[in-house]
Amino acid sequence: MNTPIAWTLNTENARIAVPCFVEEVAPLFEAAGRFRIWDVSSEGIQERSEIASKEEDEVSRIRMMRELGVTVVLANGIKKSVRRLLRAEGITVVHGVSGTAVDVLFGWLAGRLEGLPDEDSELPVSAPVAADAVEWTYELLSSLGWQVKRVVGTDFSPVDLTAEKSCPVCDKPVRVAVCCGAHAWRVDEEIGEFHRLTSSGYHSRLYVHPPLEAAVKCCNAYGIELLDPSAFQPVHTDDFTLAPLKSRISGHPDLNSTVKHGPDTKRKPWNPQETS
């Protein structure tokens, strides 16, 4: 069964702190001279501040994180005792990461950041995993009869998947480009780049993302179909040959006039308690 993903990135607020040395993640949390702070919400990502730290003792740094309202710390080296105290404050700690602060932030948001295992945690580290959206979409399209391929390219390419299926009217291929989000800070920039790269060579474009106002507006402007994972309901391929597509298919006028592409009824939001 294709289980809808949990879009933590877009449904829960987070304040992320990264200890820095110049533009890189600092080697040691306890010795970092400054911290960069980002706010993540359903409205997007915003760098809130850059905090200079002159605190030399560990307790003062932990207190500073609490007073700043930090909910996630992304760090390289950090003592086990400090991790324990941060967790006691309700702060998630991902450690053993390196690179620029911005790359680490985006890696965490996209579910691509691999830190060291935290043997003291009773539960695994939880992070917004937009990478799960790629797997969810891959499984969904495959289950509906599409031939799906993963796109191998740069980490920040907005095209995650391509899908192809024979047109039920003319038997010619229907090609779809798919973007699953979390490639850029701003939704409008991401959708704009997705449009630029896929404006030719595809009969339809699919953007998998919760229906934020900016996402809906941009998708409508560029003629890109928006698929909300939390609202999608399984359909029978006999009834909806090109599900989950609902919009008109470019280059297939006969198909548009004879085939229903997706459900017309209002979709029931996914309830995780109903999923076995």
The answer to whether the CB of 56 falls within 8 A of the CB of 76 is: no
* pLDDT score for 171: 85
Residue 24 has pLDDT above 90, yes or no: no
* Same domain flag for 88 and 176: no
Q: What is the pLDDT of residue 124?
A: 35
Residues 6+ positions from 65 with CB-CB distance below 8 Å: 17, 73, 86, 89, 91
The alpha-carbon radius of gyration of the chain (Å, integer) is: 21
**Residue 168 is assigned to a structural domain of this protein:** yes
**Hey, which of 29-43, 162-176, 208-222, 249-263 has the most confident mean pLDDT?**
162-176
Note whether 263 and 148 are same-domain residues.
yes
Cα(256)–Cα(80) distance, rounded to whole angstroms?
Answer: 60
Residue 103 inside a domain? The answer is yes
Instruction: Note whether 104 and 145 are same-domain residues.
Output: no
| Structure confidence at residue 77 (pLDDT) | 86
Structure confidence by residue, pLDDT tens digits, 248-261: 888 888 776 655 44
Do 152 and 50 sit in the same domain of this protein?
A: no
Residues 33-56 have pLDDT tens digits of 889 999 988 777 887 788 888 777
Residue 85: pLDDT over 60: yes
User: Looking at residue 274, what DSSP letter applies?
Assistant: G
- Give the structural domain span for 28: 8-109
**Would you state the pLDDT for residue 272?**
33
- Position of tokens 């295992």? 117
Q: What is the pLDDT of residue 253?
A: 80
Same domain, 91 and 152: no
Number of domains in the chain: 2
The answer to whether 37 and 48 are in contact (CB under 8 A) is yes
CATH number, domain with residue 157? 3.40.1350
